[in-house]
Amino acid sequence: MVLLALALLAAAGSFVATQRWAFAHDKLHARHASPALKPQPASPETLHQLRAAASEQRVAARAPFAPGTQLLVAGAAPRLERTAIRTISAPSAILVDANTGAVLWAKRQNQRRPIASTTKIMTGVLALEHLPLTKILRINPLVTRVALNREGLRARERVPVWKLMYGLLLFSGNDDALELAIATSGSRGAFLRLMNEKAHELGLRKTHFTSPSGVVDRGNFSSAYDLAALARYAMAIPRFRAFTSKRIARVRWPAPTYGKTYVNKNQLIGTYPGADGVKTGWTTLAGHCLVVSARRGGKSLIAVVLHSPNPYGDTRRLLNFGFANS
């Protein structure tokens, strides 16, 4: 009986000690716990920023066409091939219905040619598909030494992607192209692999890239047909179209620059009714290359001319012809 009483007393003491420890532990935990969060209404500015960020991510994540979609309707003669059209001076050219992908008129459409800065269409597409526009990039020092046309990015300055897109698609900066390439894939070489993988994915059989900017002609080529297909894909991305349709963009910049003005090198923007893209290009070997897009009412056309002695005259004639006959 004595032993039983001692056991009961020991058990009771253990229970009391356990309860005291638990109570003290809960108080200590409560003392260091974060205060209860109370829901706070978001300001209109915050909501706008969140919605913009979400929209950017949705656009970047969503391809404008389902995988395997045939971007241009091939295999048949161009629908307007026998319709009279004034002479097109470019040795290679094409006119496409951007709504359906139908080829309306063509001249040596599958001939491989150097394409100069029209290469930046692919660079812009991949940047939009992989980088949020608001992402801040720290400019790689290699970018400041890129050849020829540069907007003047400074090593290690911090620039958001959307500003570089203006430099890429309006000013045609080779430094913008290289920075976006490195930011997208980690290196220039990795980005070139991504460019060629994307070209294969889109069915661009006459296309190969050796430069994110087009400053290098050797091994960097495409065809009028492939560029029209790529332009149809790019112009179906709302963010891409928003950049290429701008005639002038005035952008604030940190000191000591303070501000930059980008003027679209595509002279049809603001001068040809309905023109909304896409990209110019020139090198000695490639000559003048021009990919243009225009919309009127329900009609949407894409024209491409390569190595043209009169790129704007050629594309105007193609677009006028398309709007009049399609």
Q: Please tell me which residue in 107, 120, 198, 279 is annotated as part of the active site.
A: 120
Give the integer Cα–Cα distance in Å for 156 and 141.
Answer: 7
Helix 188-201 × helix 120-130 angle, to 10°: 100
User: How does pLDDT run along the chain (326 residues), one tens digit per residue?
Assistant: 555 555 555 555 554 454 454 444 444 444 444 444 455 566 666 665 655 555 555 555 467 888 888 999 865 567 666 666 778 999 999 999 999 999 999 999 999 999 999 999 999 999 999 999 999 999 999 999 998 899 999 999 999 999 999 999 999 999 999 999 999 999 999 999 999 999 999 999 999 999 999 999 999 999 999 999 999 999 999 999 999 999 999 999 988 999 999 999 999 999 999 999 999 999 999 999 999 999 998 999 999 999 999 999 999 999 999 999 87
pLDDT score at 98: 96
Cα angle for residues 265, 270, 275 (degrees, 5° grid)? 85
CA dihedral sign, ordered 80, 81, 85, 87: positive
pLDDT score at 56: 56
**289, 311 Cβ separation under 8 angstroms:** yes
pLDDT score at 65: 87
120 as an active site residue: the answer is yes
* Burial annotation 244-273 (CB, 10 A radius, 16+ → b, else e): bbbeebeeeeeeeeeebebebbbbbbeebe
Q: Please tell me which residue in 117, 223, 293, 300 is annotated as part of the active site.
A: 117
Q: Please tell me which residue in 92, 107, 163, 172 is annotated as part of the active site.
A: 172
Give the integer Cα–Cα distance in Å for 209 and 226.
Answer: 13
Give the integer Cα–Cα distance in Å for 147 and 212.
Answer: 12
Tokens of 96: 């496409």
Beta bridge pairs of residue 105: 95
Tokens of 7: 């056991």
SS3 251: strand
Tokens of 63: 């391809």
- With a CB cutoff of 8 Å and minimum separation 6, the contacts of 232 are 71, 72, 96, 98, 101, 302
- With a CB cutoff of 8 Å and minimum separation 6, the contacts of 264 are 170, 244, 246, 247, 248, 270
Please indicate, yes or no, whether the overall pTM of this predicted structure exceeds 0.85: no
CA torsion angle 102 104 106 109 (round to 10): -10
**168, 265 Cβ separation under 8 angstroms:** no
Q: Where do we find the tokens 């960020």?
A: 53
**167, 185 Cβ separation under 8 angstroms:** no
Give the integer Cα–Cα distance in Å for 216 and 202.
Answer: 23
Give residue 63's Cα distance to chain centre: 11
pLDDT score at 68: 84
Give the integer Cα–Cα distance in Å for 106 and 117.
Answer: 22
Cα angle for residues 255, 260, 261 (degrees, 5° grid)? 165
